[in-house]
Structure 1
């Protein structure tokens, strides 16, 4: 018996359908996947590591397009044109030379920290050094969120402590031929063989 997704379930998550469509029908056919790795994928965001050519990081996808004809015909369905807004469209929000992604919604891109469920203004101990310490010596960092809540006319101050940076991460390592591979604890790049 084949499996299917009911139309009401599909309608509740157009963004995820769009990303699946973008990945399977455009990205995998157009881009050289040996030079691109997905760091994180959520319903409203996608972070990619791209091993391009010697130009700076503003080259976007130029260096990894393998089928230029297919790209030119279909890129209007997915990417914004001339800065116009596009519902469920793909656009580059941030780009830079490095990204540290420990897990979904838990990353640093161009010195901007993103941590899901953590109020960063209330937790100044979380910075780029905290991410690096986690990768090197596996430290776990806790965060305390303070919020106000009102119930039956009574205002309360709630403090919730949670682990902000924990043991999972999706760090990528770039090999000499500019391809990326996922970080595996205690396995160094010299253990990987590159087919010529």
Structure 2
């Protein structure tokens, strides 16, 4: 599939390249981390929901709607509940070890790039790690104030010889082919901007604003749990969440089919919170892994 995407990019077939990209991006989650393999979600009335809550497989219950009555006080529609169950046994036809290896190997390659390339030839005092995820990193770099912001790492190189010998193992170069730019275990630059606000992993806003142009121009807005297009959030929402510590709410609409009737359910979700639920965030902004019985107060931070 990767070679098909490279061929599509070489032929300037944007539609085919985007199609192959979506398959590649979703393959890991669909095959290895698809909750439908391990969770069962059903919509029930109050009686059936209470029965399922007694099952050992029950995980969570959420109320979606209240009872509805007509003008005569007669019940016309019962309250609906969403019940999540985790079956004790399930059938899975894909090798789970491939999923585990992919996740662990990506972390190894991530650290390999940082310690065996960046730290050896780049002046880290001029680079700040803003946000990191399994397969991506967001860097704020102090380079040239004249050339703009699309100059890569060339103003931060401290060991030019080492950089020239090894940068093609990781990074693309001028006039390289699509296969060389998108090589496996390599890195490529995607969006670039003048400023970035990072709340948690996979939740950030990249925008342009400088002294000459005070208007904020949003380039990329990313968030979790809600649709980016439907939420209609702006960079100012990210800045407000970071500076005021407030919770930004967004309304999402989902279609549900029940008994042959299509219904639309509107739900309010926390789009921006600035709270990471996969790690412990320390007072200085660093993050530490979850460990049972250990919270942020147990860590000592050197000033």
TM-score (norm 2): 0.48
Deviation at 1:139, TM superposition (A): 2.3
2:195 to 98, 114, 124: 98
Deviation at 1:92, TM superposition (A): 0.8
Query: Could you tell which deviates more after superposition, 140-149 or 30-39?
Result: 140-149
1:130 aligned residue: 237
Structure 2's unaligned 5+ residue stretches are: 1-96, 208-217, 277-283, 287-303
1:53/1:143 CA distance change after superposition, 3 Å: same
Aligned partners of 1:71, 1:154: CA distance in 2, in Å? 62
SS state of the match for residue 135, structure 2? Answer: coil
Q: Indicate the structure (1 or 2) with the bigger Cα radius of gyration.
A: 2
Query: Could you tell which deviates more after superposition, 113-122 or 29-38?
Result: 113-122
Q: How does 1:13-162 map to 2 (within 5 A)?
A: 13=103, 14-54=105-145, 55-81=147-173, 82-84=176-178, 85-110=182-207, 111=218, 112-124=220-232, 126-149=233-256, 157-162=264-269
Deviation at 1:137, TM superposition (A): 2.7
TM-score (norm 1): 0.72
1:163/1:91 CA distance change after superposition, 3 Å: same
Deviation at 1:122, TM superposition (A): 2.0
SS state of the match for residue 205, structure 2? Answer: strand
Structure 1's unaligned 5+ residue stretches are: 1-6, 170-181, 185-196
Matched residue count: 166
Higher relative contact order (CA 8 A, sep 6+): 1
Aligned partners of 2:273, 2:239: CA distance in 1, in Å? 12
**Per-residue CA shift, 1:6-35, capped at 9, x if unaligned?**
x97862323222211111111111111111
Deviation at 1:74, TM superposition (A): 0.8
1:12 to 83, 86, 102: 102
